[in-house]
Amino acid sequence: MSLAVKSKIVVFVLAIVVWLALTGLGLQEIIAGVLVAAIVSLTAGHFLITTHKQKHMLHRWLYAVLYFFKFLWEMMKANLHVAYIVAHPMLPIKPGIVKIKTKLTKDAAITVLTNSITLTPGTLTVDVNEEKKEIYIHWIDVKATGIDECSKEIGARFESTLTEVFE
């Protein structure tokens, strides 16, 4: 079974499950859902799975769950930090745009890393340089300006877990 066919089958099953969870069981819903899911999976189904199955699947899923909880905790801290800054009468900010370096290579890993950086304390991704693997970050409370200190301060929290998940 080739990769595209497998990807289309996975998309079809996922679409059916989500549709039935949204609407409930019934003859009309099942017929309409099968039709629409077939159209969707035939036209756009080959984008979901693009690499062959790797080993250590259980290992990767465990680290993905660990990453999720770590991300939630960082996000709670981020929101309390921003609420403190906004409610403070003198607005204690010291903004600046810094540059960090990442060791991740895959596109999906870099996307997850940049999205996490945007949602965690005081940092916002501005641009990514794909050749040099550098990320430009707007930081609301700059503590260091050199590229190595910034990488250690911002990126290292997520990078170790993401390396286990994606590579």
Partner 1 sequence: MIRETIGMVFIFIGIAFDFFGVLGLVRLPDVYNRLQAATKCVTFGSAGILFGTFIIQGFNSFGFKALIGITFIFLTSPVAAHAISRAAHRARIPLAKETIVDEYEKDKELKEQTT
Partner 2 sequence: MRMLRWSIGLVLIAAFGYFNFFIYDGPIYFKLINVILVSALFVLFRVIFGPSPADRIVAVDILGILIVGMLAILGLHYDQGFLMDIGLIWALLSFIASLAFAKILEGRSLDD
114 binds, among partner 2, partner 1, none (CB under 5 to 8 A by kind): partner 1
Integer Cα distance of 137 and 127 in angstroms: 7
Which region among 1-9, 33-41, 55-63, 79-87 touches partner 1 (by CB under 8 A)?
Answer: 79-87
Contact 157, 116 (CB under 8 A): no
| 67-106 positions binding partner 2, by CB under 8 A | 89-91
Which region among 30-38, 46-54, 88-96, 152-160 touches partner 1 (by CB under 8 A)?
Answer: 88-96
DSSP string over 7-40: HHHHHHHHHHHHHHHHH-S-HHHHHHHHHHHHHH
Widest pairwise Cα distance in the chain: 63
How many residues in total does the chain contain? 167
Decide: is 21 part of the binding site for partner 2 (CB under 8 A). no
Contact 73, 81 (CB under 8 A): no
Figure out which of the listed residues 1, 57, 86, 90 binds partner 1, where binding follows CB under 8 A.
86
- The binding site for partner 1 (CB under 8 A) comprises 18, 21-24, 75, 78-79, 82-83, 85-87, 91, 93-99, 114-115, 118-119, 122-127, 129, 136, 138, 140, 142, 145
